[in-house]
Amino acid sequence: MASKSRDYAAKANPRNGRCRLISGNWKMNLNHLEAISLVQKLHYSFRESDYHFAEISVHPPFTSLRSIQLLLETDRVPISLGAQDCYFESSGAYTGEISASMLGKLGVRYVIVGHSERRELFGETDEIVAKKANAVIASQMTPIVCVGESMFQREEKQTETVIKSQVEAVVSSMSSELCEELVFAYEPKWAIGSGIPAESQDAVVGANAVRAAVSKYHGEMVANKVRVQYGGSVNSANAKEFLDQAEIDGLLVGGASLTAEAFTAIVQA
Ligand code: PEP
């Protein structure tokens, strides 16, 4: 694969000093051969300016991490490697689980924790999510902490309360130094995989609620360093509107990250 190499670090958004992060959560899709092919196509499609606009991460299933790591390192592809989950213990009798330190050894940079599918289908509580976030940090990676309300909670006007308690569970016992490195993804549950995205103003409300909860424990300066993505039915037609909001620092994309055409169109939107 042709190497674009050199300095492809994302530049800070001049409106707030934060670097955007656009992440593709592949969920339980694509085997390792398909995963390699997708990353090759993405790198071929991305322009140098795309890598400057935002850091781009892909989050394949665990079975593809090693293959993608080798591809990214060998061809010096400036896409960051991400995982979709991890366990909070570092090793031991936890059949089927993968530790954060194992992910760190694979060159993983970002680990999604507390995705709503994990919370709903696998019973992950705020406490477990907080432990996972801390395990990721302890292995020198960055957690992408997913928060967001259900449709029922939205209708009951509990959106900000739900976000507050989910964020507080993670940040309340963390040092400010570590907290400012966190990435949150505001993902209203009703928008995930539904084809019905939030309005950009709803996303701003969500991002503000995340920062208010961080600020309560660590002050405004730390809250303004924390990055907040929006996720939920993002596509090339709505991506720009979310990214135009100064409060939104990137996107967490599910379905539309599974083809090079759709994901590239979002990044270039
Ligand atoms: C997600 O899974 O985090 C997500 C946002 O999915 P989708 O983009 O398909 O709604």
Q: Structure tokens of 72?
A: 């990214």
Quick check: 5 pLDDT over 90?
Answer: no
In this predicted structure, the answer to whether residue 187 has a pLDDT above a threshold of 80 is yes
Structural domain contains residue 261? yes
In-domain check, residue 203: yes
Nearest to 211, CA basis, from 247, 265, 262: 247
**Of 43, 59, 115, 218, catalytic:** 115
**pLDDT class of 3 with cuts at 50, 70, 90:** very low
- 32 a catalytic residue: no
Q: Given this model, what pLDDT does residue 4 score?
A: 47
The atom of ligand 1 lying closest to the CA of 112 is 3
Residue 216: pLDDT over 50: yes
Which CATH number characterizes residue 242's domain? 3.20.20.70
User: Is ligand 1 within 6 A of the CB of residue 112?
Assistant: no
Evaluate whether residue 6 is within a structural domain: no
Q: For residue 144, what are the β-bridge partners?
A: 112, 183
The answer to the question of residue 31 being in a domain is yes
Q: Is residue 1 part of a domain?
A: no
CA of 117 from ligand 1 middle (Å) equals: 10
| Residue pair 145/169 in contact by the 8 Å Cβ criterion | no
Mapped onto helix, strand or coil, the DSSP state of residue 185 is strand
What is the pLDDT, as a whole number, of residue 8?
77
> Phi/psi class of residue 123: alpha, beta or left (left: φ > 0; alpha: ψ in -120 to 50)?
left
CA dist., res. 9 & res. 137, Å (int): 21
255 lines ligand 1 (CB under 6 A): yes
Nearest CA to ligand 1 atom 1: 254
Q: Does any domain span residue 15?
A: no
Range of the domain at 36: 21-268
Tell me the pLDDT tens digit for each residue of 73-105.
Answer: 999 999 999 999 999 999 999 999 999 999 999
Q: 222, 176 in Cβ contact below 8 A? A: yes
Percent of the chain exceeding pLDDT 70 equals 97
Q: Are 229 and 186 in contact (CB under 8 A)?
A: yes
pLDDT digits (tens, 9 = 90+) for 143-171: 999 999 999 999 999 999 999 999 999 99
Domain count, the chain: 1
**Is 175 within a domain?**
yes
Q: pLDDT category, 1, cuts 50, 70, 90? A: very low
Spatial separation of the C-alpha atoms in residues 224 and 237, rounded to whole Å: 28
In this structure, is residue 16 part of a structural domain? Answer: no
Amino acid 2: pLDDT = 44
DSSP calls for 32-97: HHHHHHHHHHHHHH--HHHHHH-EEEEE--GGGHHHHHHHHHHTT--PEEEES--BSSSSSS-TT-
pTM of the model: 0.96
Phi and psi angles of residue 60, each rounded to the nearest 5 degrees, phi first: -75, 170
pLDDT in tens, 36-78: 999 999 999 999 999 999 999 999 999 999 999 999 999 999 9
pLDDT at residue number 7 = 63
